[in-house]
Amino acid sequence: MSKNLNVIAELPADLLSLDLADPQTFLRYDQGELWRRMRAEHPVFWNAPRDGRPGFWAVTRYDDVMYVYRETSTFASSRGNVLTTLLHGGDSAAGKMLAVTDGSRHRELRKVFLKALSPRVMSTVAEQVRENTESLVRRAAEVGSCDFAQDVAEKIPIRTICDLLGVPRADQGELLILTKKALSADDEDITAFDSTVARSEILVYFSNLLEEFRKNPREGVIGTFADAQASGVALSNEEIVLNCYSLIIGGDDTSRLSMISSIAALVEHPAQWAALSSGRIDSRTATEELLRWTTPAMHFGRTTLHDTNVSGQAINQGDIVTLWNVSANRDEAVFASPDVLDLSRSPNRHLTFGYGPHFCLGAELGRIEVRAMLDALCRFTADIALTGTPKRVRSNLLSGISSLPVKFTPR
């Protein structure tokens, strides 16, 4: 996003006082300025220990982020891949959930995912996404005013990923509430304990759903997982449940936030919207730029397996290293005029989906959803305007908007 809509303070002269683990940091300060200064002054930033939790490194330049992603023999995902788990002793799903598994086991699990998300499956999903998105956007344009976050964007990724998993429609609303609590607190009253409870409830739900699938087999990703083998051995119930959890968390939050923030960006840049809606810019190219611009997952994390260095900064074995894609995607050394929204930008080597062996398996689905939204907007709306103040999510992982009141002028 180009603007932090809730900025209340200027950045301190000494950035070393900042705490990137505090969600309030990203509401308090303008992120564009924050990351520009980080890249210039502290490209490999030491976030000091606080409140009984360990310190960690923050890598902010594009080339350094790419380096860490590539060096899988030095930087491991298996001890956790986000601050939430890394700062609290690691991830209990390590070695079982794809995102926090390395080496040969990661490759075997990835094969299972690739089968579950085959081109045939994705082709069917793409058509369903287009139909669902067109229906929602057309209805919003006809009504005129809506909260785009709650009335449109919330209903696309959650339905898509739930349908893939075989989750009944009647359960999807409750799962949306849980996924929002699990990682990004829309309500400041939601505590870390509340998020932990929400994650546990999602796991319990999928455990029960798996049991039902085993009794009454049917189509769906969870069914593919139930029939799958890795290295000749069937996946355990725990592995299946954890990977369903990973899919619904990753498949909902990031796509939903990308779509909402994309609308805010188009409102803020009317010339770009005009070029897109008139057909002068292709929605495929626009999708890539909006994914770069929004970068909903701000960071991913690794643990250092042996003493090393990044850009000359010594990093010790066991140190936590976080990769700030949100900063890398605005790196002046890689992107011309990075703080300019250019929907025709090409090439566009953004890191929104990460890089390397852990490159997001849901990347194609995310692209399908954002592009379907843009195509529907161009088809059914002539203009978009804000009718209220957007509300930002409160998170040290996810960046985006939880409420976006807008008015559509129908085409």
Least confident of 323-327, 347-351, 361-365: 361-365
Q: In the predicted model, is pLDDT for residue 188 greater than 80? A: no
| 336 Cβ contact partners less than 8 Å away, ≥ 6 residues apart | none
How many other CB atoms are there within 10 angstroms of residue 336's CB atom?
A: 8
Q: What angle do CA 34, 67, 81 make, to 5 degrees?
A: 70
pLDDT band at 138 (very low <50, low <70, confident <90, very high): very high
Say what the pLDDT of residue 230 is. 83
DSSP symbol at 87: T
Residue 375 phi/psi, 5° resolution? -65, -40
Residue 8 predicted with pLDDT over 80: no
Residues 6+ apart with CB under 8 A from 288: 345, 346, 348, 350, 367
**Residue range 10-33: average pLDDT?**
96
Q: What is the pLDDT of residue 1?
A: 46
As a whole number, mean pLDDT of residues 105-127 equals: 92
- CA-CA distance, 92 to 90, in Å (whole number)? 7
> Is residue 229 helix, strand or coil?
strand
How does strand 56-59 pair with strand 320-324?
parallel
Beta-strand runs (E) in 263-331: 299-304, 308-310, 313-315, 320-324
pLDDT tens per residue across span 50-70: 989 999 999 999 999 999 999
Band (48; pLDDT cuts 50, 70, 90):
very high
In this predicted structure, the answer to whether residue 191 has a pLDDT above a threshold of 90 is no
- For the chain, give percent helix, strand, coil, nearest 5: 50, 15, 35
- d(CA 265, CA 3) in angstroms, rounded, equals 9
Q: What is the model's pLDDT at position 186? A: 59
pLDDT in tens, 206-260: 999 999 999 988 878 898 899 888 888 999 999 999 999 999 988 888 999 999 9
| pLDDT of res. 406 | 98
Mean confidence (pLDDT) of the chain: 93
* Residue 2 pLDDT: 45
Distance of alpha carbon 165 from alpha carbon 220, whole angstroms: 5
DSSP annotation of 322:
E
Read off the pLDDT of residues 299-344 as tens digits, 9 standing for 90 and up: 999 999 999 999 999 999 999 999 999 999 999 999 999 999 999 9
* Mean local confidence (pLDDT), 353-373: 95
The owner of tokens 């919207």 is 273
Angle formed by the axes of helices 192-215 and 169-183, to 10°?
Answer: 150
| pLDDT for position 249 | 87
Quick: pLDDT tens for 26-46: 999 999 999 999 999 999 999
Is the predicted pLDDT of residue 114 greater than 60, yes or no?
A: yes
Which of 96, 112, 361 is CA-nearest to residue 230?
112
**Least confident segment among 174-183, 204-213, 282-291:** 174-183
Q: Is 349 helix (H, G, I), strand (E, B) or coil?
A: coil
Compute the distance between CA of residue 371 and CA of residue 286 in angstroms, rounded to an integer.
8
Q: Choose among 395, 301, 398: nearest CA to 82.
A: 301
Can you read off the two tokens belonging to residue 158? Answer: 């959650």
- What stretch of H or E contains 158? helix 157-165
Q: What is the pLDDT of residue 34?
A: 97
> Is pLDDT of 185 > 90?
no
Residue 5 has pLDDT above 70, yes or no: no
Across residues 174-180, what is the average pLDDT?
A: 88
Query: What confidence category does residue 296 fall into, taking pLDDT thresholds of 50, 70 and 90?
Result: very high
Q: Do β-strands 299-304 and 75-76 pair in parallel, antiparallel, or remain unpaired?
A: antiparallel
Structural domains present in the chain: 15-410 (1.10.630.10)
